[in-house]
A and B are shown apart, each in its own frame.
Chain A
Amino acid sequence: MSAHDQPPPSEPQPEGHPKNRPIEDADPMLLTAEPVDGDPELMLTSLVEEFARQGLGADHIMKLFESPYFQATWGLRQLFGEEGVRTRIEATLARCGVMRYRTTHGSSPDTTGDTHAEGP
């Protein structure tokens, strides 16, 4: 037996398997979080309505659900599935439509005197 196999005698050893030992106050494995009730369906509907209010059409909105880098939308896609999300987007847009805006910048540094339409 090598020296590495034998722990130093000064270190106390847990009894049995770690999962069986009592949880200590400072135990890093202690679960401190708890779920909070919520409604992912309402979250999805609200987000889609929000994007539609900004002028995004169905395809634009669907793209936001396709990237794992956008966790809010990606998480909903994981929950409802691609078809489930698409169906819900279409149903929401059929109800509330896609808003359109026309913005003209005056002497703003962004652009000068241009006009562009937003939305599909």
Chain B
Amino acid sequence: MPKVHNWQIGREMAYPYEGSYPERQFAFVFNINRCIACQTCTMACKSTWTFSKGQEHMWWNNVETKPYGGYPQGWDSKLLQMLEKANPGGQRWSGANGPEQAPYGEFDGKTIFEAAGRATDSPSAQRVLGYLPTDTDWSAPNMHEEVASGPVMAPGEYGASAQLPEHKVWFFYMQRLCNHCTYPGCLGACPRKAIYKRPEDGVVLIDQQRCRGYRKCVEGCPYKKSMYRPTTRVSEKCIACYPRLEGKDPELSPDGAPLETRCMTACVGKIRLQGLVAMNDSGEWAPDPGNPLYFLVRERRIALPLYPQFGTSPNGFYIPPRWVPRPYLEQMFGPGVEAAIEQYSCPDRDLLAVLQLFRAQQQILFNYKIERGPKVAELEVTMPDGSKKTQEIWNDTVVGYNKLGKEVVRTTVEEPTFERLDTHLNSI
């Protein structure tokens, strides 16, 4: 197999094809801390792309509950188990917080491409380690993920005896869609070469004419975001709303400026920021300090890739939740978790400003600048270890620009307000 450079695992790795990189890459950052699983993104996607017969099980965008579940069920735990079986005890990282070339350190284990030949229980996956989910796995998003809920019954009241105990531990919501990986597992697994990355934006697409429905892509995608459609007998996947990326909506984008996808623009919780980042010849993000995604992912390393150890170099990045035990998060996002949460818990003025660009408007931001203002407050925030720290608030303004260099949004951080407690109502 040819060797390619994967910056997310800090080393060269085997991949079925030579590295070939787009001019720009579709990428996104999700702030897990803010998601309440309203599923508006899920329905925005569903109602736009997958509402037809044969697409009932297709949720190109879904929000699942961790650590309990996933869609298809157990997609990540099953693959992690296969990798562990292929390389017992060897799925480890070393040298966390490394240099620019290896920001999360180096992954010493096997990726899904490297482990494929070692797997004993996946004879059909020659080039990519994976599995084909069963119909049951696809049967219901959110199955077993959230407990039944309803009014609280008093003892003896009708219906009270049917109540079950509820989980009393942490959990968080995981927003997922195709990561439009730099080294896609689906592309590597396809025997028909029906899957390709667009050279202009890195969007991964399935050629519906070439596809013969072998489902190797379904098996090979570690994130299980390629889905088979029984009515057409070919596979389908997220297309990153590419007409919007191309700025071809005459109503929303009369000047041709690229727009964010449907799932991104529908987010009411403002947890999503999507962009098109510049790439260089080695498959890395080209330095682009003015791009908000570059700032969050490469400069600050506050947003981390999902299961980077799979080796596909996913282009979806997550700000990890602050309250979740670290070993779980490190398995999911790699060794950069602690540093990311430390920064996010007490954001400095630049980070606080850029965080205001999330879902600020519909156009893709290619650039931003910060106009400095005076310090207006100091707040006490909770740090990861439960301790308190002082956060400085500055009256800064962040300005976002679209592809055409036009200002599209401007947000100013102002002095926070405090509500007087009842006990101090007349204390003035």
Q: Contact at B382–A49, with CB atoms within 8 Å?
A: yes
Mask of A100-115 contacts with B, CB within 8 angstroms, 1/0: 1111111111100000
What's the A-B contact tally at a CB cutoff of 8 Å? Answer: 154
| Whole-angstrom distance between the Cβ of A107 and the nearest chain B Cβ | 6
Report which of A45, A49, A105 forms a contact with B408, defined as CB distance below 8 A: A105
Interchain CB contact (< 8 A) of B379 among A64, A73, A95: A95
Task: Report A36-58 CB contacts with B as 1/0, cut-off 8 Å.
Answer: 11111011011101100010011
B171 at the interface (CB under 8 A from A): yes
Q: Is the CB of A96 within 8 A of B410?
A: no
> When chains A and B are docked, how far (Å) is the Cα of A71 from the Cα of B170?
11
Interface size class of A (residues with CB under 8 A): 35 or more
Please list the residues of chain B having a beta carbon within 8 angstroms of any beta carbon in chain A: 33-34, 36-38, 65, 67-68, 146-147, 149-150, 152, 166-173, 251-253, 255, 259, 270, 321-325, 328, 356, 360-363, 377, 379-382, 386, 388, 391, 393, 406-419, 421
Chain B residues whose C-beta falls within 8 Å of the C-beta of A84 in the assembled complex:
none
Task: Give the docked Cα–Cα distance between A39 and B322 (Å).
Answer: 11
Using a CB–CB distance below 8 Å, which chain A residues touch chain B?
33, 35-40, 42-43, 45-47, 49-50, 54, 57-58, 64, 68-75, 78-79, 90, 93-110, 117, 119-120
6 nearest CB pairs, A to B: A38-B170, A97-B416, A108-B361, A68-B149, A43-B323, A100-B414
B325 x A38 contact (CB < 8 A): yes
B408 touches A71 (CB 8 A): no
Decide: A110 near B361, CB < 8 A? Known: A68-B150, A103-B410, A105-B408.
Answer: yes
From A58, A70, A117, contact of B37 by CB (8 A): A70
Name B33's contact: one of A46, A74, A110 (CB within 8 Å).
A46
Q: Which residue of B lies closest to A37 (CB)?
A: B325
> Shortest CB–CB separation between residue A22 and chain B, in angstroms?
24
A109 touches B34 (CB 8 A): no
Can you name 7 A-B pairs with beta carbons within 8 Å?
A: A38-B170, A49-B381, A57-B419, A70-B36, A78-B166, A98-B418, A105-B361
- In Å, the complex CA distance between A100 and B36 comes to 21
By the criterion CB–CB under 8 Å, are B68 and A107 in contact?
no
Q: Is B34 within 8 A of A54, CB to CB?
A: yes
